[in-house]
Homo-oligomer: A and B are copies of this chain.
Amino acid sequence: MAYPKALERLIENLSKLPGIGKKTATRLALFLLEAKVGYVEELAESIREVKERIRLCSSCFNITEEDPCRVCTDEKRMKGVICVVESPSHVLAIESANPGTFKYHVLHGLINPLEGIGPENLKIGQLKERVEREAIEEVVLAMSFNVEGNATAAYVAEILRPLPVKVTRISSGIPYGGDLLYADPITLKHSIQNRRSI
């Protein structure tokens, strides 16, 4: 014996979501079964809508409902500077720290040979074209400080070297307000290597 077919189908579909196992999927499905029709319709519709309405900006490749996106057409942001990030959520992270400052370029991933992701799978060629076309003066690399982020930053810097553009990378070090005692040794080592005069 099992749940009715329609419920089993929903459980199966929900358990394909990342981090949702069979038990959680069952709990969610039973919740939806008892939830108000209005909410359930709204949820189903918004799932559909996200696929229909959202596309990538043809200039910066961030997700958007309008092309070009509102960030690309925002005249108040720095001209001649592009901040390069790995995903749309990283754009939001930077915006929460530095609102309204940069225009962006979203790579949609990081170089990761183990998962078969090479430079050709990312928006790196488009970045180079854009830097040339828009006569960009500075490219700020804001990848994460892990193996893939470092490899991608190094590759992008190499690709841009022939062009008359300054390439910088955001700094790694002890988190602000952080005690040295709690920093991991690798962060601390990098932070010492990257010391600067004050």
Chain A interface (Cβ < 8 Å from any Cβ of B)? 1-7, 9-10, 13-14, 16-20, 24, 26-33, 37, 39-54, 63-65, 71, 87-89, 91-92, 95, 99-100
Contact = CB atoms under 8 A, between A and B. Distances in A.
Given A26-B89, A63-B33, A54 B13 contact: no
Given A19-B24, A49-B9, A88 B30 contact: yes
Nearest to A29: B50
Which applies to chain A's interface (DSSP): helix, strand, loop or mixed?
helix
B1 A95 contact: yes
8 contacts: A1-B95, A6-B46, A6-B54, A9-B46, A10-B47, A13-B43, A20-B28, A32-B51
A95 B31 CA distance: 21
Nearest to A5: B65
B50 A6 contact: yes
A5 B46 CA distance: 10
Complex copy number for this chain: 2
Given A37-B51, A50-B6, A92-B1, A43 B14 contact: yes
Contacts of A26: 89
Contact of A7 (B13, B16, B63, B87): B63
A64 B13 CA distance: 19
Contact of A47 (B1, B20, B44): B44
Given A41-B48, A47-B43, A63 B18 contact: no
A88 B11 CA distance: 14
Contacts of A33: 50-51, 54, 63
B14 A32 contact: no
Nearest to A94: B1
